[in-house]
Amino acid sequence: MTSQPQEGIPVGISACLTGQEVRYNGGHKRSRYCLQVLSERFALEPFCPELAAGLGVPREPIRLVGKAGETPRLKGSVDESLDVTERLEEVSETFGEAHRHLRGFILMKGSPSCGLERVKVYHPNGMPSHADSGAFVRILRRALPELPLEEEARLNDPVLRENFITRVYALDDWKRNVEPDPSHHALLQFHSRQKFLLMAHRVETYRELGRYLGEAHRVPLDEAMAHYLQGFMAALSRPATRKSHSNALMHVMGYLKHALDGETRQDLLAAVEEYRLQQVPLAVPMRLLNHYLKRHGSAYIRAQSYLDPHPYELGLRNAI
Ligand code: SF4
49 in contact with ligand 1, CB cutoff 6 A: yes
23 in contact with ligand 1, CB cutoff 6 A: yes
For residue 49, give the ligand 1 atom closest to its CA.
Answer: 1
Name the phi and psi angles at 234, rounded to 5: -65, -40
88 in contact with ligand 1, CB cutoff 6 A: no
127 Cα: distance to centroid of ligand 1 (angstroms): 23
pLDDT in tens, 243-280: 999 999 999 999 998 899 999 999 999 999 999 999 99
Output the pLDDT for position 3.
Answer: 42
111 in contact with ligand 1, CB cutoff 6 A: yes
Which residues have CB under 8 Å from 178's CB, separation 6+? 186, 187, 190, 225
Give the whole-angstrom CA distance, residue 138 versus residue 141. Answer: 5
Of all protein residues, the one whose alpha carbon is nearest to atom 6 of ligand 1 is: 23
Percent of the chain with pLDDT strictly greater than 90: 97
Q: Strand, coil or helix: what is 280? A: coil
Provide the pLDDT confidence category of residue 235 given band limits of 50, 70 and 90: very high
Contact in structure between 103 and 9 (CB atoms under 8 Å): yes
Output the pLDDT for position 80.
Answer: 86
For residue 29, give the ligand 1 atom closest to its CA.
Answer: 8
Give the whole-angstrom CA distance, residue 95 versus residue 68. Answer: 27
Output the pLDDT for position 1.
Answer: 40
Provide the pLDDT confidence category of residue 23 given band limits of 50, 70 and 90: very high
- The mean per-residue pLDDT over the stretch 31-50 comes to 97
The overall pTM is greater than 0.85:
yes
User: Half-sphere exposure (CA, 13 Å, Cβ side) for 221?
Assistant: 10
Give the whole-angstrom CA distance, residue 239 versus residue 315. Answer: 17
pLDDT in tens, 284-312: 999 999 999 999 999 999 999 999 999 99
Output the pLDDT for position 238.
Answer: 94
For residue 50, give the ligand 1 atom closest to its CA.
Answer: 1
112 in contact with ligand 1, CB cutoff 6 A: no
Output the pLDDT for position 38.
Answer: 97
Provide the pLDDT confidence category of residue 32 given band limits of 50, 70 and 90: very high
Q: Ligand 1, from 13, 21, 22: best to mutate by most atoms within 8 Å of Cβ?
A: 22
205 in contact with ligand 1, CB cutoff 6 A: no
pLDDT in tens, 46-69: 999 999 999 999 999 999 999 999
- Per the model's pLDDT, the better-predicted residue between 2 and 91 turns out to be 91
Output the pLDDT for position 159.
Answer: 97
241 Cα: distance to centroid of ligand 1 (angstroms): 33
- pLDDT tops 50 at residue 240: yes
Of all protein residues, the one whose alpha carbon is nearest to atom 8 of ligand 1 is: 16
Output the pLDDT for position 5.
Answer: 45
For residue 15, give the ligand 1 atom closest to its CA.
Answer: 3
- The mean per-residue pLDDT over the stretch 175-200 comes to 96
58 Cα: distance to centroid of ligand 1 (angstroms): 12
The helix or strand, by DSSP H or E, that contains position 20, with its residue range, turns out to be: none
Output the pLDDT for position 164.
Answer: 98
* Chain length of the chain: 320
186 Cα: distance to centroid of ligand 1 (angstroms): 38
107 Cα: distance to centroid of ligand 1 (angstroms): 8
Output the pLDDT for position 253.
Answer: 95
Neighbours of 199 (CB within 10 A): 24
18 in contact with ligand 1, CB cutoff 6 A: no
Output the pLDDT for position 257.
Answer: 87
Contact in structure between 198 and 165 (CB atoms under 8 Å): no
For residue 17, give the ligand 1 atom closest to its CA.
Answer: 8
Q: Ligand 1, from 50, 138, 151: best to mutate by most atoms within 8 Å of Cβ?
A: 50
